[in-house]
Structure 1
């Protein structure tokens, strides 16, 4: 009979309690609570049939750090100096990764087998407070700053109150298959969609009604023992498969677009086909014609696949996890990073070796002073939770985070944008089978591998297609287990290389419904036995089992004669695998539960039956104007203010939380230089220890320019991602060069609701026109630079609504780029290397202060948005490639936020040297010379021996500014007149102190 034991770990009184200090500080800063001293502790609840002696051995030899901690078993810390306590535990059914790890450690210690597939050890935080804080205030502290009521249980009271909470799952419901009539009036159909959280519009609900009224459908259902009306499971499957998240209905809509500025009037037959796929098709043909077909697979699998060399291929995917991160920042971000890990892992046959992670995060002001709407989390809480979630997801998986970005804008305070990316490497072949091709035949078995299914993640796909409000469903939140996934990843790599897996895919949005529903198209059908699916706890309904997005799960396709070998291998890796059905050629997706048919859906209707949207888009240029500065600001004060501003200051407090060294192959890290302060443009990672080949990865994101012109915001973001890779030593792809390196790009569009409604979304036509122009820029940039999209994602409902108040994100597109580096020994970093090196500005500066950080500092927007001059940029980047290849450059840094002044400052603060430059040139006045954010520009330093050859190569594209100095001071003159003299220490202090985490 299982016993219940409590084990408390608490820091010795002689050890500084940093966690307690942080809680005290946060309570005072954000809630004006005087808690007095706070002491933190960790609580383990064990429910196992073991003896008191065994539990003591476990607590003292496994859990406790004898140098730092005291341990209490069956009793608690004698808190005589404290008056109150707060328990923060996980709710029943929420994945507790630390508890599962402790469970495994207990089994290893006692040499006994405790299943890690069922939770029996739980963890919690227990805080003690010196001052007698009111119970309701402690609960508020827990809910607002330390946890989340979606996933946490909170209990506050006197230090003498007993603790008895154990997160047992108790569900008394019996399995029930409901039949739901759909022969209803239009308003009743819409009500049904809303009540079931299907997120389907009237046309879609009518299509479902018409399908179930078809005579052939009724006949087939009668033969299968089903009612003519759909089951709850069938409606849930249709809601998931037809969700915006899965079907990208707005990107595939028929759009009538009118440009009132130019008079252009046209019908766009799918944004995706017209701009994204078409641009890649054009580029593919150029390289195929040249005999360099490195594009292997795009848009048709979990991730894009490109050829690295004759032995291996590169797999690359970037996803968003915005809605879950708005509800539970920690869980949403953690599942975002481990979820995107599964995309490359489940591409083609599967079993790719995961290479690196990236993350790009968009938050509201962390010091947001305003009142929050009901259900809206404070931006600092969102930021802290997201950063911690990515830290735990990436670090515990053993995957380096080598690149990223953080953007701040008040419009991200309703719904943050959380972009997570993962790259992997896979052999070109397993045996004689191309690894990127999925193959399934009738009779192949359906295997679920990894975690178990629970209520967490139900309606994740449909929920992601809605705007957020205070009623958003708790069941949509998932908590990932990176350690469980690490075991599964290692297992899949081994199984794939042994030729045991026929193909695979991840259980992402929609869970089994999505993975099996999509794979079934390859064979022509599938049969699934839901009662065989392993559950976290009993009591789930059949439809919940099929659509739950519980994490760490993959669907594997096996030939029947490989089952025994795969199951044996899975036991070796402690991975649970279950045979839950088979693929067929019936043309249907058929589900059973305890010998009863639960669902019978025609695959063609399931995947192709969703009615197409018809949308209206009208572009009218915003009425913005360039401000007139009353007086020229103090240059030193302005530069220091910019260096400390949220969108420019150091991200070190975030970067240092992520492991970018694991695997030992990261060449260019986020921060470098002699003192580790120099921000870098792109991350670079060595592919293997057997060659010098590497990968450069960058990101381009510029939502701030969208308020002026969405086309230029998209074009600028694309250019930013390209020039970051060029800056570290990348070379543009060249269709005329058979040895041209590959580039692989993920486009991620995140926009507010863009469907016009006269009452709820009166500016929907303009918002959709912004999206159209963003896609037009994508096409123009991609085809100019011959850089193809290989995968991507869109997120279309990034709004937070409460009553008549709506917080909408600015139209945002992220371009995540990866490019092959032939020899990582040739890459260049941003910091100045030696005194005497000549400093040049490469590229042309224009009077383009619109949307700049300089204007933001003064409270302006401006009208002169930076524009990408594509032909000039193409030529410039090719010349920069030659300069890198010939070894002309000692350093290189791209210009973006803050313009030339900030770029020079960043080159100085990263090393021990300074710079003396004169920026006066041509007709531009001082302010645009220093702070314009014109695209396609770099600050480079060149050794004296290379100056002549560099100038001959670059011609008028490079302007001499000055030289690197021995003294660590930045001195700037304008046409001979000194305007700035600031020490490295002053700049570094401002830059490092801008973001207090």
Structure 2
């Protein structure tokens, strides 16, 4: 019997409002209310349960009687016209899984559950209205379908039995064209050189590969897993200098080399533990613990299905921490998003592209739900806007974890069991999978999870609890997560130095019908793979059972040097591990860099300074992100010291977050980031340098020690097959090396996402801006001495630290005035580390009341943010005293985005101490704090350039994203 529980809101119908607003946005009309009269949500229940059983479940579990009404009936029994949105069969439905678990606890005979959303509207829709409403508002065709009218189905079953058939791919006899076609048709993403290497290998062994062998090679050799572009040979022709430089391995010779140089210089004081060798970077924290940090990207999935893409992006990076060493406990999350402006006209959307407002809502909700449900605070991040991210948003998710010092390394031993722990395996994320029909059906052989997974944070929370207990009880010798490529990646990497034999039919499945290849490469979420000594298996299994976490033995690690896969006793793969991991031919590419042609800065100033300040504060990239931050729980675990929002009303923009990894200890960790892709349009080298500088100065501004600060790189680039695009990437990597070495900030982990390219509205190729995210993790010696950016009280002095130059190129002043060109901000590699050390010394000595870095919008924006965050006014009359500002216009003094600069608030009695701390470094007193709630800034000639009430500045900053 199939029952339906329909749940409607008793009061405000927020979902209806959302749908109507989105329809009106996309159609430039105000007719959404005519098309959708009401909304509902609900579940379909299949099983031998009575109507009374279904009513009990609704009353006790599904319906909140204070705000909802519930209706129980046989599925398809409604005569009311409705549009019902269902997840396509095979798409992960975590709510349905939770309902099913509850039914089992209540001993209700429910065999299957599916959730739905329902909308009620008119019987007839015009074709244009139907197209917008169904395809762009009510459902996402990547994972959902719509049933018009009653939902009728015999049952909710998802799978039928799989009939084994070993598939061999006739590869050896193909010519070059045939190899290219095979790669394209099979979505292997292998080049002709790589396909030729595979062909040569199997000719040598005297047979053709099986389908699963070819899929394994393609996954292992993919850009995502092997970073073959950044590790390849690249020859750069630099038209700036006329030089030609060749890198045999770009990553190794730039980013990696910087870390090696820093560690050699540190010698016995080296505080790096594990870098670029595990799922996350590891650094020393205290005598008993280390810290781990990793930032991942989930860009393409988030463009297809924003909620699921971001949801599983965060879930994946959390599993990276669980799979580092013998398992780290996540202590906080970070996120950085890059979107097109949310007010973009729908007329500018290319075919099939979601509106950026919808993307933004979905991405934020996905990160929110995963982090909050796992009980991990989200404490730091950034959001940037540029029209070039329209069809290719960037979604960076990061996690910091803590791990006992004696658990930082792992080792797979011959004879250890290959154990899968966590979620079951389905067709989630298998490339090339097709979606099922638009109806509920038992024809489950067409079931597909599509290209996007949906995560289940509750399952991952239970997995995390088991892993950490098992770690402390010594129940496994190595661990990694199932990320891209699923078991193929996890088992293949863990067994790379040994070998492994796996029985694929032993994997627990979500539903019947999966082939051996689908089981092996599925990217189903919440799964970990452990190397378990046989003597420990019984205890591990008992622990998993006690925590309601599934665990299964898939095989063994063997000292054979081969990867062997079996299905129901049939051998389906036998690969040489050396060929799998070392047989990929090195990519050889040419790159070139030509500086952009000089462009006139534009007409003289067209905005008065106060108007320019107001516009910059209201720019989407600068304005308050409180709408996002308030959705995240940043207090859970009780270790948040400096919050993402600070100030007298807890609504000012913090420079960085500070957490206490060990409660009861005063030692902390600061987390910050730097990203400024607009500078790359002028010079990618200096863009990268400024990103590192910003990440470091953010953590220094709250109290982190710059000499104990580690950084991470995330490259997100356009089409690297274009020599000019690749040239910008090479220049960025070169800057990463130079700046990291100068600053003494080692890279400990990183990730790249290349070929972020899409077709524009007229079919033209569009690349995203060259985007480098740099994340920083700094050690805070004593969190009691941390400072925040909000002004604290009247009567204090205001100082500017660092040199101000005429560096308005790529600035936010140019963004709001429509200008281009100008000098891009440049770091001083000699002076910057000294400035950071001095700021840290002043904070540690208690000389600083508040500190804020100068970044987007320069000095004017920094002063405004500090003032309205603290509710304290300021008079700034010392623009002409700014270090390095001789000869600059007042506009440049106010809005230059020169790096390595801070505004410091200090009591008058601290003047001598600050002078000593900054001896020989650029420091100048520029103003004082006042009780009056306003900001005044005088020009070099004494006239007031800015005279604004704090309430007006704050309103300009908060209004744009006050959703």
TM-score by length of 2: 0.94
Of residues 79, 88, 92 in structure 1, which corresponds to 2:85?
A: 88
Question: What are the Cα deviations for residues 132-187 of structure 1, in whole angstroms up to 9, with x where unaligned?
Answer: 64477346324313431111121235xxx456596542457633321111121001
Aligned to 2:445: none
Helix, strand or coil: the match of 1:318?
Answer: strand
Query: 316, 320, 330: which one pairs with 1:354?
Result: 330
Query: How far did residue 502 of structure 1 move?
Result: 1.3
Equivalent position of 1:202 in the other structure: 192
Mapped partners of 1:257, 1:24: distance in 2:
52
**Aligned equivalents of 2:643, 2:685: Cα separation in 1:** 31
For 1:341-490, list aligned pairs within 5 A: 341-350=318-327, 352-369=328-345, 370-429=347-406, 435-459=407-431, 475-490=450-465
Provide the residue aligned with 1:30 in structure 2.
26
Offset of 1:951 from its aligned partner? Answer: 3.0
- C-alpha distance in 2 between matches for 1:77 and 1:850: 62
Q: Can you give the 5+ residue segments of structure 2 that lack an aligned partner in the other structure?
A: 434-447, 881-885
Aligned residue in 2 for 1:974 = 939
Paired residues of 1:919 and 1:930 also in contact (CA < 8 A): no
**303, 306, 312: which is aligned to 2:283?**
306
Residues 1:98 and 2:95 are matched in the alignment: yes
- Contact persistence 2:76–2:152 (CA under 8 A): no
Q: 2:843 aligns with which of 871, 881, 884?
A: 884
Distance 1:486 1:162, change over 3 A: closer
Cα distance between partner residues in 1 of 2:674 and 2:145? 40
Could you give the per-residue CA deviations for residues 96-127 of structure 1, whole angstroms, max 9, x where no partner exists?
1111122223333x25798xxxx822211112
| Selected match of 1:988 from 933, 954, 958 | 954
C-alpha change, 1:915 and 1:550, in structure 2 (3 Å) is same
Pairwise CA distance, 1:25: 1.8
Q: Is residue 625 of structure 1 aligned with residue 621 of structure 2?
A: no
Q: Displacement of 1:701 after TM fit?
A: 0.7
What is the match of residue 760 of structure 1?
none
Q: Judge which range, 252-261 or 134-143, deviates more.
A: 134-143
Show the counterpart of 2:638.
Answer: 664
**Structure 1 residues 65, 723: CA separation in 2 closer, same or farther (over 3 Å shift)?**
same
Query: The residue matched to 2:543 in structure 1 has which SS?
Result: helix
Distance 2:15 2:293 in 1: 37
Structure 1: stretches of 5+ with no match in the other structure:
219-227, 430-434, 462-472, 734-741, 756-763
1:911 matched to 2:870? The reply is: yes
Q: Does 1:576 align with 2:534?
A: no
In the TM superposition, residue 397 of structure 1 has moved relative to its aligned partner by: 1.1
Q: 1:732 to 1:526 in 2, by over 3 A?
A: same
Any residues of structure 2 matched to 1:108-119 within 5 Å, and which? 108=105, 110=106
- List per-residue Cα deviations over 1:530-577 (Å, max 9, x = no partner): 111111111112111101111110001101111111111101111110
Task: Identify if the C-alpha distance between structure 1 residues 481 and 559 changes in structure 2 by more than 3 Å, giving closer, same or farther.
Answer: same
From 273, 296, 311, the equivalent of 1:296 is 273
Q: Which residue of the other structure, out of 796, 800, 803, is the alignment partner of 1:841? A: 800
Mapped to 2, the partners of 1:105 and 1:52 lie a distance apart of: 17
Q: CA deviation at 1:263?
A: 2.1
2:921 corresponds to 1:949: no
Change (3 A) 1:987 1:695: same
Question: Residue in 1 aligned with 2:826?
Answer: 867
Alpha carbons of structure 1 residues 314 and 71: separation in structure 2 relative to 1, 3 Å: same
Contact 2:3/2:74 (8 A) holds in 1: no
In structure 2, the residue matched to 1:928 is 892
Q: Any conservation in 1 of the 2:311–2:454 contact (CA below 8 Å)?
A: yes
Please give the root-mean-square deviation of Cα atoms over the aligned residues, in Å.
2.1
Deviation at 1:730, TM superposition (A): 1.3
Find the counterpart in structure 1 of residue 883 from structure 2: none
- Distance (Å, rounded) in 2 between the aligned partners of 1:985 and 1:79: 53
Pick from 909, 926, 930: which aligns with 1:965?
A: 930
Matches within 5 A, 1:506-655: 506-522=481-497, 524-655=498-629
Cα pair 1:35 1:129 within 8 Å, conserved: no
- Aligned with 1:151 (options 143, 146, 165): 143
The equivalent of 1:736 in structure 2 is: none
SS of corresponding position for 1:893: strand
Kindly indicate whether residue 904 of structure 2 is the aligned counterpart of residue 940 of structure 1. yes
SS at match of 2:789: coil
Query: 1:35–1:131: 8 Å Cα contact kept in structure 2?
Result: no
Give the counterpart of 2:158 among 169, 173, 180.
169
Instruction: Find the residue that maps to 2:913 and give its secondary structure.
Output: helix
1:631, 1:869 → 2: CA distance? 28
| Number of aligned residue pairs | 936
* In structure 2, distance between residues paired with 1:152 and 1:626: 50
Kindly report which structure 2 residues correspond to 1:114-263, keeping only aligned pairs within 5 A, or say none. Answer: 120-129=112-121, 133-134=125-126, 137-138=129-130, 140-157=132-149, 161=150, 168-171=157-160, 174-182=163-171, 183-214=173-204, 217-218=205-206, 228-263=207-242
Query: Match for residue 60 of structure 1?
Result: 59
Query: Is 2:689 the partner of 1:690?
Result: no
Distance 2:812 2:399 in 1: 30
Measured in 2, the distance between the counterparts of 1:237 and 1:838 equals 63
Question: Take 1:606 and 1:949, find their aligned partners in 2: how far apart are those partners?
Answer: 61
Equivalent of residue 772 in structure 1, options 711, 716, 730: 730
Match of 2:246 in 1: 267
2:471 to 481, 496, 509: 496
What's the counterpart of residue 787 of structure 1?
745
Q: Judging changes above 3 Å, is the alpha-carbon distance between structure 1 residues 113 and 399 closer, same or farther for their aligned structure 2 residues?
A: farther
1:971/1:982 contact within 8 Å kept:
yes
1:910-941: CA deviation from partner (whole Å, max 9, x where unpaired):
12211111243132111101111110111111
Q: Which residue of 1 aligns with 2:444?
A: none
Call closer, same or farther: CA 1:404–1:824 in 2, change over 3 Å: same
CA distance in 1, matches of 2:75, 2:496: 57
Separation (CA, whole Å) in 1 of partners of 2:313 and 2:817: 36
Partner Cα separation in structure 2 for residue 133 and residue 329 of structure 1: 27
- Which residue number in structure 2 is paired with residue 224 of structure 1? none
Counterpart in 2 of 1:901? Answer: 860
Q: Distance in 2 between matches of 1:474 and 1:202?
A: 30
Q: 1:652 to 1:138 in 2, by over 3 A?
A: farther
Alignment partner of 2:2 out of 1, 4, 11: 4
1:849 is displaced (CA, Å) by: 0.4
**Matched residue of 1:585: which SS?**
coil
Residues 139 and 397 of structure 1: CA distance in aligned 2, closer, same or farther (over 3 Å): farther
Q: Given that residues 35 and 133 in structure 1 are in contact (C-alpha distance below 8 angstroms), is that contact kept between their aligned partners in structure 2?
A: no
Q: Matched residues in 2 for 1:896 and 1:366: separation?
A: 23
2:950, 2:643 → 1: CA distance?
22
Residue deviations 1:699-731 (CA, integer Å, cap 9, x gap): 111110001000000000000000001110112
Say which SS state the counterpart of residue 120 (structure 1) adopts: strand
- Structure 1 residue aligned with 2:13: 17
- Structure 1 window deviating more from structure 2 (866-875 vs 371-380): it is 371-380
CA contact (8 A) 2:875 2:929 kept: yes
8 Å CA contact 1:24–1:38 kept in 2: the answer is no
SS at match of 1:188: helix
